[in-house]
Amino acid sequence: MAARTRILVVDDNEVNRTVAADLLDRSGYSVVTAEDGLAALAAVRAACFDLILLDMRMPGMDGIETAAAIHAALGSPPPMLLLTATLIPEDEPRWRRAGLRGCLVKPFRVEQIAPFLTVAPPSGLSGLVARSDLDLDLTLLGRERMIALADLFRRSSGADLDRLLALAAAGKTSEVAATAHRMAGAAASLHLHPLSALCREIESTARRQDAAVLAALVERVPALWEVSLATLVEALEAAEPGGGPPDPA
């Protein structure tokens, strides 16, 4: 059995830590928690993680300072995300300099973290496709129509994926932004929210012309695109022929 994706959650508020840990654990992730920056540093020195979630406002070192300390300690840390109750645009240059990949508003949704993982998220519909939204579409449109839409996505978004990779390699950031925008919309239409979120992040990064971050983000798209489509097709094929979600086992 493959090891579960390991996530470190750092938050001084015990309720916030526990809620985040429970949500991530139920989604198939292995979670370790830390109550402050010093505990987070001890944790990353003792074990390896695939993602680190850092609360912005903590006593002692805040989330940005903790990220910088982790970067200094490890040299090449796993992806790190900032968590905040209030998104302050003026903070962005500071947290990006500290090596943070993104900032999520609390309470975050589990599917928001998938684009930042360098390993595949846990298998299963919940991590890659919004189940309740997909079930509603199955009820309204039927299985056959949804399978046809998935095939259309395979062809049209697949062509956009090839275009995205070529444009990124050529350094055409404005065209990368436009292509990523189109891919984000198509993915959202089929409730592939982690894929859509990654494409939106690529779009915003391309518009900032942050070449180093952009290259790292684009590199993650093919694998997430493939596994998202495969999960969607698997769910649709398992649905009742007349439409609607499959009967529970």
* CATH number of the domain that residue 37 is part of: 3.40.50.2300
Output the pLDDT for position 157. 95
E-only strand ranges, 168-248: none
pLDDT band at 1 (very low <50, low <70, confident <90, very high): very low
pLDDT reading at 7 higher than 90? yes
Does 95 lie in the same domain as 142?
no
In a domain, 161, yes or no: yes
Spatial neighbors of 104 by CB under 8 A, at least 6 apart, are: 53, 81, 82, 83, 84, 112, 113
In the structure, how many helices (H) and strands (E) does the chain have?
10, 5
- pLDDT of 12 > 50? The answer is yes
Residue 130 phi/psi, 5-degree rounding, is -75, 105
Q: Which pLDDT does position 9 carry in this prediction?
A: 96
Q: How far apart are the C-alpha atoms of 87 and 238, rounded to whole Å?
A: 40
Confidence of residue 209 (pLDDT cuts 50, 70, 90): confident
| Pair 197, 226 in one domain | yes
Across 172-199, average pLDDT: 91
Question: Is there a single domain that holds both residue 139 and residue 233?
Answer: yes
Q: pLDDT band at residue 91, thresholds of 50, 70 and 90?
A: confident
Does 139 have pLDDT greater than 50? yes
* Residue 102 domain boundaries: 6-108
CATH of the domain at 158: 1.20.120.160
Structural domains of the chain, count: 2
Phi-psi sector, 8: left (phi>0), alpha (psi -120 to 50), beta: beta
pTM summary value: 0.57
143 and 234, same domain (yes or no): yes
Residues 205 and 20: their CA atoms lie apart, in Å, by 27
Please indicate, yes or no, whether residues 132 and 49 belong to a single structural domain of this protein. no
